[in-house]
Amino acid sequence: MRVRLFMSILIKNGRIITADADYIADIFIEGETISTIGKNLNVKADKEIDASGKLVFPGGIDPHVHLDMPFMGTFSSDTYETGTRAALFGGTILLAGAISDAGLQQYLHSIDHFKEVTKQAKVDVELQNHPLYDGLEERLAKLRDRKPGAPHPFIVGKSNYQKFLDVQAECMRAAVARRVP
């Protein structure tokens, strides 16, 4: 059994604007890849979107922004409202906001607290991080085929989870230390 994670999409009659062109066309997307751009595409898709009268452009990801927070002796000029609005108009669809020093300290405290609380756990702890991109199909196959008592592919176990929290806490401590002048 193969798990299908992505579908095909046909975006019809959208206005496509690139660095050197502005035209109306269709876009066929297979999985995560734009496979064809053209007029009146005759393809079968899992989902069809009518983009007539709408702009179609790729979305960018900004992995490090400073919004509405103190930064290097000053304060960022954008609030979350103005900064995300500007990002969207510029084609950015996802922001990864930086965290303030106080936020890092609070996060570090939360990790330390959670680590102490999970030491008392009487069951395994699941550690999950972006399952669609972390070999989900292979892990689902392992789960389907595993024998009773065999390791669970989604569970890291109590001792490994404690190690994970140790590493995460040390990373946060290093991030805080780098910010101190």
Residues 53 and 115 in one domain: no
Do 111 and 52 belong together in one domain? no
111 and 168 both lie in a single domain: yes
Amino acid at 9: I
User: Is residue 131 assigned to a domain?
Assistant: yes
- CATH number for the domain spanning 12: value is 2.30.40.10
What pLDDT sits at residue 25? 96
pLDDT tens digits for range 138-163: 767 777 787 877 766 666 566 666 77
Q: How many domains does the chain have?
A: 2
The pLDDT value given to residue 157: 62
Question: Among 62, 66, 86, 64, which residue's Cα sits nearest to residue 74?
Answer: 66
Domain that holds residue 15: 1-58
C-beta of residue 132 within 8 angstroms of C-beta of residue 100: no
Q: What is the mean pLDDT of each run of 10 residues along the chain (181 residues)?
A: 70 86 92 90 94 82 73 76 79 69 75 75 54 58 76 64 76 74 59
